[in-house]
Amino acid sequence: MRLILLGPPGAGKGTQGHRLHEAYGIPEISTGDILRAAVRHETPLGLEAKSFMDRGALVPDEVIIGIARERLGEEDTEAGFILDGFPRTVAQAEALDHMLLESQRPLNHVISVEVPENELLRRLARRREIEGRDDDTDEAIRHRLEVYERQTAPLIDYYRKTGLLRPVSGVGTVDDIAQRIKTVL
């Protein structure tokens, strides 16, 4: 099974991705994790990404796509994968489609975890309290939600047109949400 988890910050993609990994035994691939690993291992693309990150600049699509291509080429992804945080833009989605077409491993599903904004704000504020995350200031949270709306939300229309989109309510208990996802899969 090859799938993407879409949803705004605080929607629970990481939690649900981990559950899907446990249920199906396929790797959960987070863009942040593979980016940090590429930097840590000083791969050519990781060093290129680090040069942008060190300047506080966004890592360009070409670099993110290259790092994703490398990770999806690893042996553990042959039986499938769960993508969280990639693609983030339509350009990245088109590149992903192309690379999966080349390897004859098309996507099966795109799960859109849908959560109202007031619930997202509540969850992210709670996460800040529990985890003490410095990056979860009110201003940073609102900025990340705006960036999601501007850059990533268009993927919902993109994948709806392909017939792969599976919207799932992300409100309720972790178990309830996991069950909804398993039902659509």
Active site residues: 13, 88, 127, 133, 144
Strand order in the sheet with 28-30: 28-30, 81-84, 2-6, 109-114, 165-169
The span from the CA of 153 to the CA of 93, in Å, is 12
* Dihedral sign from CA coordinates of 136, 58, 30, 152: positive
Phi then psi for residue 21, to 5 deg, are: -60, -45
- C-alpha 95: how far from chain center: 15
